[in-house]
Structure 1
Amino acid sequence: MFSDHKGCLQLCLTEVANGLRNPVLMVHANDHTHRMFIAEQVGVIWVYLPDGSRLEEPFLDIRSLVLATPWLGDERGFLGMAFHPKYKDNSKFYIYYSYMDKNRVEKIRISELKVLASDANKADPRSERNLLELEEPAANHNGGQLHFGVDGYMYLFTGDGGKAGDPFGTFGNAQNKSTFLGKVLRIDVDGRSSDGKPYRIPPDNPFVSDPKARPEVYAYGVRNMWRCAVDRGDPVTKKGRGRIFCGDVGQNRFEEVDVIVKGGNYGWRAKEGFECYDTRLCHNSSLDDILPIFAYGRSVGKSVTGGFVYRGCESPNLNGLYIFGDFMNGRLMALQEDEKRNKWQKQDICIGSTKTCAFPRMISSYSKFIISFAEDEAGELYFLSTSYPSAYAPHGSLYKFIDPARRAPPGKCKYKPIPVKTKSKRILFVPRAKTVLELLNEPSTTKPLKKTSTPTAATPAAASQKGKKTPSTKIKASTAKPAPSGKKRQKIKAEAKPHKPKQEEKVARLDRTTPASPLPKNKSSHLTRTKKLLPKKAALGKEKQERRKKGRLSSSS
């Protein structure tokens, strides 16, 4: 790895996909086809082939079922997807999305579907089998992660129900083990329970014998975990295999990264990060609460997006690094495990300097709002982001991380994808972002490419938090100024340029207890600029001025 003089890890990116509407996830089927399935928040899943092309017809389109809006920062929509560990044999996969029932009650639905036997690139929407439904008391904090652990069980990550400070009941939803909200749930999708549930409870779930707890609960005390990942383990030793890492979005002071353990209490709402949030609950809480492996304050970021531990082949120096980011300011970060001290050390990631990334296909910028991280079938790492966080705005892209300091030997990381018959037309990938080489070769009249500045780390203050707080959300939008007293909110401004992280970016959170502004009509792409046309009257006035001016000139001559 190469770090600059400020200690910022220098990495590069390649653009893999673009034109996506709030891409919330990218997953693979682990079937040796090396296809990538990218889901948009509106409820559409696309298939990307190993050659970079996309199939014209979607894998799944359930927009008619999914509750999504064009409101900026709206967290509802299609949120999670996972393929069954034995997908090659049973063709099953699972989805997690927001919907509204017949009584106009907002809910989360987790369901099972199958792929058509006649087309491996098409899901059968008629095969949907509902596994679990949760009523959502507010529009925000919907969680959304769905994945299978190395034990073969499904893990579900739910939010605390929304609003500010988990105000539900005496202790909040997250500390109440009799509710599904604010939890990590674990179920066996391959069985059915004796009481009629369409799934089985794993016999070693930690609270199966507690009459006051839901037997599905695996861990609790979480606020709104946004993006969790299972560690594949070291490619040689398999060390770390099976660990589950999550980013848990904070309230108003700290964002945190957690490693999930069975039966663990992660502290919310008693604690936020390493500190007390609700003083009364905090003083009475268990000393056995699971603390984050890392937490950061508002000078670093405002909404964590959980990432992955890199276990790929192409960039061997990155092995073991947990790479994640912040949704609000576009900051990329890495955690390095210090086993001797049992701590994780943070390192900032800088993208796109001309010195390190002057190679074919390498780009120097990315869209600011980091929605999700992803891992392909070979273990290489990606992230998905957008310049305008509305579910209907096609400004999202997929980027792949590249470490220019050390690449694997030629031929070492080659693999042969199993070919898949495609019935749909293939759409070739057309890059939109300029590469570093293109920027370097532009005429000298253009501004020189700036190096990415090193973000400034922050040390959490040792103070308790009191009073009501503005709700923290995962899908949030930036504003020009902080909102006064958490009441008045300003509209987000679309990013006109791709993002390069800047030091101490000032952005405010969007209050998700009330709807945000709808997407303006006729919004131009962030990749193209349009000139503002003069109003008709102004244009006529300008024309008259020109005629008068010409008249004066002719008379004076």
Structure 2
Amino acid sequence: MCQECSPYAAHLFDAEDPYTPVRHLPGLCLTYCSDFHSKCHSVVKYLTNSRTLLETCEKDRSHFCNLINLSDQDYCYPNVLKNNDLYSSLGKVVEDTKGCLQLCLTEVANGLRNPVLMVHSGDDTHRMFVAEQVGFVWVYLKDGSRLEQPFLDISGEVLTTPWLGDERGFLGLAFHPKYRNSGRFFIYYSILINGKLEKIRISEMKVSAHDMNMADSLSERVLLEIEEPAANHNGGQLLFGLDGYLYIFTGDGGKAGDPFGKFGNSQNRSALLGKVLRIDVDGSSIDGKPYKIPPDNPFLREPDAKPEVYAYGVRNMWRCSVDRGDLLTGYGRGRIFCGDVGQNRYEEVDIIVKGGNYGWRAKEGFECFDMKLCQNTSLDDILPIFAYGHHVGKSVTGGYVYRGCESPNLSGLYIFGDFMSGRLMALKEDKKSGSWKEKNVCMGDTKTCSFPGLINHHHKFIISFAEDEAGELYFLATSYPNAMSPFGTLYKFMDPSR
């Protein structure tokens, strides 16, 4: 559970100056401290390991309270809660004169080869699993340290090259909702068959029975393979919805303009490319498939449609996420957000719904792309919640709705970015109208991000966004988008106004 963080927490700990010694306990007003000591002094040993504080607490209440008191009594607890002058002018966010939401970063990990994703396993271990495009998955512990041995190494199976910008490789990873007990997880990667046939493969694997930080390399069970007619637009997102089903996001097959067939792959419901697929991985079907079809998938009664299809009209959705929902009300819980990469003019952000047609190749963003398809009265497409032109960026990277505890000012904002321009953006929902308004995100200045460990810069090429088990937000970026080059970094967002 989250408790609301005081906007004056830095003052409570006398930490507004980054070069003051770190306090172990907040500043307590003298009267309150005396009462606290009388009733609760026994808990101090659980709050600090400072020998001076512990010894003083046991021997001398007056001296103890003087040690943890603040020179400025406006900020000591509980006075800080009662001062209207401190709270009357507080805003919800900090923006510069140009309306830019200023954030800072911490660098969590570096030296990664095109880190394409970070996910957690949802088992209360707070481990972070970071995947490199070449086929390695690494475990990072809660303290930020990386285990020496990879969780998974399928680099010998994964198809990728040293070509700059090659989109093929290890692309997706999702842990089963009951991973704690089942040890099952799912992967999405590119393969080459007989030296010439390219496919994407979705497989199930299991964790080792002997080591929770290592996959069982012999456990792979292939669920689905789809032929890829070109080297680009490979999709790659895997995620589990609140319904317990596995969602698979495929690209349109590549090249440009979805040139496959009369309507392209994306508008063709008998093709698996250019789709959002939904399958039940907790059983096998009667026709021998290693998964079942959810009984409410939308096109089961359409004779030629693939039963796996959940939504269509997708170009190349690059990074999707499930909204955890408002921490208090649950609003928004279960919504699936995606960034769909555009062709020549627009990038877009979508919310996925069952049976939805997201327009491609009839439309790109809000505009027509294929005039003939666009004018078809049966198109019935779902418009993006947001689209931006290529003067802003040329390859959207989908993000997350922030639902963490550490930066309450960001709560409810959908934060995402652009791979090519390196731009960070945020969308805020107007719940009454259902519309979304853009907020520019920028790095705070040197003074804003002056505390030790904070930085105000990042690599340009934003590959992916992520959240940890507590709901805190991260992103992965590189200075050189090459699958073999170790220039990738994992960053964590920090709101300096929290």
Shorter-chain TM-score tier: 0.7 to 0.9
Per-residue deviation, 1:360: 1.7
Per-residue deviation, 1:132: 0.2
Q: Unaligned stretches of 5+ in structure 2?
A: 1-92
Number of the residue aligned with 2:113: 21
Find 1:349's aligned residue among 419, 441, 460.
Answer: 441
Number of the residue aligned with 2:358: 266
Structure 1 contact 93–114 (Cα < 8 Å) conserved = yes
Secondary structure in structure 2 of the residue aligned to 1:89: helix
Structure with higher helix content: 2
Secondary structure in structure 1 of the residue aligned to 2:218: strand
Alignment deviations for residues 26-74 of structure 1 (CA, whole Å, 9 cap, x no partner): 0000000000000000000000001111011100000110001010000
Find 2:473's aligned residue among 381, 384, 401.
Answer: 381
Alignment deviations for residues 90-110 of structure 1 (CA, whole Å, 9 cap, x no partner): 100000000011362000000
Find 1:67's aligned residue among 159, 164, 170.
Answer: 159
Number of the residue aligned with 2:276: 184
Secondary structure in structure 1 of the residue aligned to 2:181: helix
Number of the residue aligned with 2:225: 133
Number of the residue aligned with 1:153: 245
**Cα-Cα RMSD:** 0.8
Number of the residue aligned with 1:219: 311
Alignment deviations for residues 309-353 of structure 1 (CA, whole Å, 9 cap, x no partner): 000000011110000000001000000001122210001101131
Determine the C-alpha separation between the residues in 1 that align with 2:225 and 2:205. Answer: 15
Equivalence map 1:348-427=2 (5 Å): 348-406=440-498
Residue 234 of structure 2 is aligned to residue 142 of structure 1: yes
Per-residue deviation, 1:260: 0.2
Per-residue deviation, 1:393: 0.2
Find 1:196's aligned residue among 284, 288, 294.
Answer: 288
Per-residue deviation, 1:155: 0.2
Number of the residue aligned with 1:54: 146
Structure 1 contact 223–250 (Cα < 8 Å) conserved = yes
Determine the C-alpha separation between the residues in 2 that align with 1:57 and 1:124. Answer: 13
Determine the C-alpha separation between the residues in 1 that align with 2:377 and 2:431. Answer: 28
Determine the C-alpha separation between the residues in 1 that align with 2:222 and 2:383. Answer: 34
Secondary structure in structure 1 of the residue aligned to 2:318: strand
Q: Unaligned stretches of 5+ in structure 1?
A: 407-557
Find 1:304's aligned residue among 382, 396, 407.
Answer: 396
Number of the residue aligned with 2:424: 332
Determine the C-alpha separation between the residues in 1 that align with 2:377 and 2:131. Answer: 39
Number of the residue aligned with 2:103: 11
Structure 1 contact 81–94 (Cα < 8 Å) conserved = yes
Structure 2 contact 312–356 (Cα < 8 Å) conserved = yes
Structure 2 contact 373–379 (Cα < 8 Å) conserved = no
Determine the C-alpha separation between the residues in 2 that align with 1:355 and 1:7. Answer: 18
Matched letter for residue 131 of structure 1: L
Indicate the percent of aligned positions where both proteins have the same amino acid.
75
Runs of 4+ residues deviating >6 angstroms: none
Per-residue deviation, 1:19: 0.1
Structure 1 contact 270–285 (Cα < 8 Å) conserved = no
Matched letter for residue 232 of structure 1: R
Equivalence map 1:443-454=2 (5 Å): none
Number of the residue aligned with 2:4: none
Alignment deviations for residues 359-407 of structure 1 (CA, whole Å, 9 cap, x no partner): 121002111100000000000000000000000000000000011111x
Number of the residue aligned with 1:92: 184
Find 1:250's aligned residue among 339, 342, 347.
Answer: 342
Secondary structure in structure 1 of the residue aligned to 2:409: helix
Alignment deviations for residues 195-244 of structure 1 (CA, whole Å, 9 cap, x no partner): 11000000000001111100000000000000000000001111100000
Secondary structure in structure 2 of the residue aligned to 1:284: coil
Structure 1 contact 13–352 (Cα < 8 Å) conserved = no
Higher-RCO chain (CA-CA 8 Å, sequence separation at least 6): 1
Determine the C-alpha separation between the residues in 2 that align with 1:360 and 1:237. Answer: 35
Number of the residue aligned with 1:477: none
Determine the C-alpha separation between the residues in 2 that align with 1:60 and 1:99. Answer: 16
Determine the C-alpha separation between the residues in 2 that align with 1:355 and 1:343. Answer: 35
Determine the C-alpha separation between the residues in 1 that align with 2:195 and 2:452. Answer: 55
Residue 148 of structure 2 is aligned to residue 80 of structure 1: no
TM-score (structure 2 length as normaliser): 0.81
Secondary structure in structure 1 of the residue aligned to 2:232: coil
**194-203 or 337-346: which moved more?**
337-346
Residue 223 of structure 2 is aligned to residue 120 of structure 1: no
**84-93 or 355-364: which moved more?**
355-364
Find 2:199's aligned residue among 89, 104, 107.
Answer: 107
Residue 132 of structure 2 is aligned to residue 43 of structure 1: no
Residues paired across the two proteins, number: 406
